Structure 1
């Protein structure tokens, strides 16, 4: 399975960087950055259990993918080779997909629940975990549930995942969602005043991916109409939704 190499800007959108994640658990960003940017020469002692690797847990829409892509971007900016793989896209053929990614310094594996219960895929992931540890590579996992709650059929895989440092992500409150919208609008050069921000916050959910898609839509609409993003403009553009 070939894995095309894309420019950093295309693989990892500017919104999805470690330093653009809002309201992360204390120490989480520093830990992910350290894991992403370390080299075998500077990493020091490597814990053979994998406790220095990271397992992100949380429901859909809390930004697990954001952090995985941000870690990959940080790794590549530090001169390391990184790869992101959504396991749903490789379910049923995970061994081939993981073999194609060998040789990277950092692997970010998203959505473990997608392969839970598929014994062949679980064995492939278990083998990759062990080979990465032996090679001095780094792994970051993400799943909706903690390892003990996943319907895994391979106890050894559950054990390996449970040994990783766990970071639990929770949905943003209104203040967090407002900050996400504010920052992402600024990076796009969108003028979003407080009245427009308040209007949006009452009508959008907490899904970070949805917020990004919404701002993309507003960006295109405001450019096409040559209008600022005001409450009347939002009512016209999104009111029917």
Structure 2
């Protein structure tokens, strides 16, 4: 898989478009699928934390890599050094997925570096998929040209998942781990567990270990017991 990994970031096995379930952000998924298919060159994904932006960028990076093209996932919030040397050479990639663009807002040198990368990719006809908490013009970027470049392909907004989509996500992620989660169990977890997606995924980690140890199905009584013992 010709995916370039930087900053030691590994793409999780769950980062696929198929695993991005639910109706809440179906439009965002469809727009990213256009990037993956090569029918679109640019897109900005906006939305709050835990709304699925990172999943979509990582899934796109993986899918494009699986197709034999060169792709890279760049989470700017994890960069603790000047980004110039880090992005040097990325202009030759077929797709660059830039997460957490807001992390460099006001850092002129970093913004200039990303602007240059954007222009290099456009000159090659390569794809640029970026994400942040809001649309580019509202990110507080110092360079108007960078905000403009990031918005060239349009923006799509990810929204927090509703309860139905959280249940669907739990069932799909459990299946990826080889576990069968009944709908009733997923519903109970969403109603009585952590409200946000990262919290639900931590609960799933706990249940994965518990079910392996006990060789038990994820029934509501077993889930109550497993979570009670873990807490």
1:232: Cα distance to partner? 2.5
Structure 2: runs of 5 or more not aligned = none
Measure the CA separation in 2 of the matches of 1:68 and 1:206.
Answer: 23
Q: 1:192 to 1:142 in 2, by over 3 A?
A: same
Give the distance between the partners of 1:153 and 1:91, measured in 2 at CA.
19
Larger deviation, residues 150-159 vs 89-98: 89-98
For structure 1, the residue ranges without an aligned partner over 5 or more in a row are 44-50
CA contact 1:37–1:80 (8 Å) conserved in 2: no
- Give the C-alpha shift of residue 121 in structure 1: 0.6
The residue that corresponds to 1:167 in the other structure is 156
Aligned equivalent of 2:16? 17
| 1:202 aligned residue | 191
> What is the TM-score with the length of structure 2 in the denominator?
0.86
- SS of 1:85's partner is strand
Deviation at residue 56 of structure 1 after TM alignment: 0.2
Deviations 1:139-173, CA, capped at 9 Å, x for gaps: 00010111122121111111212223211000111
Aligned residues: 225
State the 1:223 CA deviation: 0.8
Q: RMSD across aligned C-alpha pairs, in angstroms?
A: 2.4
1:88 aligns with 2:45: no
- Which deviations, in whole Å up to 9, do the C-alpha atoms of 1:50-102 show, x marking residues without a partner? x8400000000011111001111110121111100100122541111111534
Residue 91 and residue 143 in structure 1: after superposition, are their counterparts in 2 closer, same or farther (change >3 A)?
A: farther
The 5-angstrom pairing of residues 217-236 of structure 1 reads 217-236=206-225
2:90–2:117: 8 Å Cα contact kept in structure 1?
no
Deviation beyond 6 Å, 4+ runs, structure 1: none
Any residues of structure 2 matched to 1:82-161 within 5 Å, and which?
A: 82-161=71-150
Residue aligned with 1:18, SS: coil
- TM-score, with length taken from structure 1: 0.83
Do the aligned partners of residues 24 and 128 (structure 1) sit closer, same or farther apart at CA in structure 2, a change above 3 Å counting?
farther
